[in-house]
């Protein structure tokens, strides 16, 4: 019997999810499993999923489809429900189940970046990935968060912050670094090139700065921080660990983390 899974989104050609999942299948000896990559535009996910034959067991879902994935699901995991977005769909008897493994991925990646405990954080952006960041940050003890946005923070993200017991404020790019605070951890959840200028932004001593982007490194965000002597962790660790959870959800097997990490390192090295 053959089984199929894949990743969907727009754009999608940059996705390294196939590298990770295929490496897992090989290490686990899962013959007959394949992993595909399809470009699906906003609004087209439901039609795409409805048309998948029965040998499709799961989908990794990337931007801009995470909220659509949640809406079409017959069953929803707790973190997907809280975040208001899902990056994983798995076939279940009643249809499709939506889960959010970004929270798991970001939690592990921040820990690997050296974060152990923090009370203040800044999250750049306020979309679905930002909500995943809030869920990850509370596990480190964060109690105050600033959402740094171009214009207005999304209401659903502010509601989640309140639900999590976070004291949330909103600051805007145009206000400038003097108004952005001295956070202990900063997580950028926006695409490369969509971040604010950081010249003059002073963070708490030993602050952890994380960029969810992993392609074409360093991003302008990371390069700007580096000129100020600040290390920025790129998002491949988040990508790895969210895929580890996806592999388990889709195959029912424990993911081979070492094999997946090695494949990711090779792919990122080949495509900086």
Omega before 101 within 30 of 0, i.e. cis: no
119 lies in the same domain as 175: yes
Domain span at 73: 3-100+242-270
Question: Any idea what the CATH number is for the domain that residue 115 is in?
Answer: 3.40.50.720
Question: Any idea what the CATH number is for the domain that residue 67 is in?
Answer: 3.40.50.10860
120 lies in the same domain as 149: yes
Note the pLDDT tens digit of each residue in 70-80: 999 999 999 99
Residues 90-95, mean pLDDT to the nearest whole number: 96
112 lies in the same domain as 91: no
Looking at residue 272, its pLDDT comes to 44
Residues 239 and 214 sit within 8 Å (Cβ to Cβ): yes
Neighbours of 271 (CB within 10 A): 13
Give the span between the Cα atoms of 115 and 217, in whole angstroms. 21
- Is 66 noted as a catalytic residue in this protein? yes
pTM for the predicted model, two decimal places: 0.91
Which helix (H) or strand (E) segment holds residue 66: the answer is helix 66-72
114 lies in the same domain as 95: no
Looking at residue 159, its pLDDT comes to 97
- Total domain count for the chain? 2
Note the pLDDT tens digit of each residue in 231-254: 999 999 999 999 999 999 999 999
156 lies in the same domain as 193: yes
82 lies in the same domain as 111: no
Residues 89-94, mean pLDDT to the nearest whole number: 96
Choose the catalytic residue: 21, 66, 91, 234.
66
Residue 268 pLDDT level (bands cut at 50, 70, 90):
confident
112 lies in the same domain as 223: yes
């Amino acid at each position: 019997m053959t089984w199929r899974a894949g990743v969907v989104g727009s754009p999608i050609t940059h996705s390294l999810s196939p590298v990770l999942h295929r490496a897992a299948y090989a290490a686990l000896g899962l013959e007959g499993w394949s992993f595909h990559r399809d470009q699906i535009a906003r609004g087209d996910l439901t039609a795409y999923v409805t048309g998948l034959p029965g040998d499709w067991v799961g989908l990794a879902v990337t931007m801009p489809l995470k909220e659509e994935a949640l809406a079409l699901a017959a069953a929803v995991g707790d973190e997907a429900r809280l975040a208001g977005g899902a990056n994983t769909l798995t076939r279940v008897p009643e249809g499709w189940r939506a889960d959010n493994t970004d929270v798991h991925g970001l939690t592990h990646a921040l820990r690997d970046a050296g974060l152990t405990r923090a009370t203040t954080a800044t999250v750049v952006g306020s979309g679905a990935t930002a909500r995943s960041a809030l869920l990850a940050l509370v596990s480190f003890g964060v109690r105050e968060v600033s959402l740094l946005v171009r214009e207005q923070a999304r209401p659903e993200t502010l509601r989640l912050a309140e639900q999590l017991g976070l004291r949330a404020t909103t600051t805007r790019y145009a206000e400038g670094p003097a108004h952005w605070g001295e956070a202990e951890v900063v997580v950028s959840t926006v695409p490369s090139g969509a971040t604010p200028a950081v010249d003059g932004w002073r963070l708490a001593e030993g602050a952890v700065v994380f960029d969810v982007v992993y392609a074409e490194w360093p991003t302008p965000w990371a390069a700007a921080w580096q000129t100020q002597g600040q290390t920025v962790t790129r998002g491949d660790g988040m990508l790895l660990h969210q895929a580890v959870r996806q592999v388990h959800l889709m195959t029912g097997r424990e993911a081979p983390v070492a094999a997946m990490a090695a494949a990711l390192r090779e792919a990122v090295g080949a495509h900086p």
